[in-house]
């Protein structure tokens, strides 16, 4: 099966995933803007199994609807690489698309928290927009 490896900036924290993403999305929420330092987050969900190498620091954030997300970032360089959602760890892992450093990565299908999108950010035609969190 096709595999891809996402890596932090310094290279010590990596995650290898297999197969095609189950979904690719961008999130414009203010929490994602802060946690990434960018104006939106781009995430791809992959089904297990996946393989993590290196040390990760965990940060748990509770979403607007009570979901608990555990973000993993590199303690050396600070790059956010992936996160899981409590109760769904065995179903998918969400990987930061930028950590693949692959401009041919599939484009997003969903735009979440479109109400917080910086107006200059243009999205691909046909993308599904959600004003806030869809679930």
Query: Shortest approach of Zn ion to residue 124 CB, angstroms?
Result: 18
Query: Shortest approach of Zn ion to residue 41 CB, angstroms?
Result: 6
Q: Which is nearer to Zn ion, 14 or 47 (CB)?
A: 14
Query: Shortest approach of Zn ion to residue 4 CB, angstroms?
Result: 18
Q: Which is nearer to Zn ion, 29 or 97 (CB)?
A: 29
Query: Shortest approach of Zn ion to residue 66 CB, angstroms?
Result: 15
Q: Which is nearer to Zn ion, 19 or 134 (CB)?
A: 134
Q: Which is nearer to Zn ion, 11 or 48 (CB)?
A: 11
Give a three-class secondary structure readout of the chain. Answer: CCEEEEECCCCCCEEEEECCCCEEEEECCHHHHHHHCCCCEEEEEECCCCEEECCCEEEEEECCCCCEEEEEECCCCCCEEEEEECCCCCCCEEEEHHHHCCCCCCCCCEEECHHHCCCCCCCCCCCEECCCCCC
Residues near Zn ion (CB under 5 A):
8, 10, 12, 27, 29, 32, 74, 76-77
């Amino acid at each position: 099966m096709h595999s891809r490896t996402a890596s932090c900036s310094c290279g010590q924290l990596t995650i290898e995933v297999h197969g095609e993403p189950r979904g690719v999305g961008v999130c414009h929420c203010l929490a994602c803007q802060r946690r990434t330092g960018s104006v939106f987050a781009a995430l791809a969900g992959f089904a297990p199994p996946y393989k993590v190498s290196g040390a990760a620091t965990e940060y748990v954030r509770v979403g607007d609807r009570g979901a608990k997300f555990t973000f993993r970032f590199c303690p050396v360089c600070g790059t956010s690489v992936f996160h899981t959602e409590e109760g769904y760890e065995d179903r998918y892992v969400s990987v930061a698309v930028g950590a693949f450093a692959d401009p041919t990565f599939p484009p997003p299908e969903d735009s979440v928290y479109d109400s917080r999108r910086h107006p200059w950010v243009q999205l691909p035609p046909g993308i599904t927009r959600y004003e806030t969190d869809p679930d």
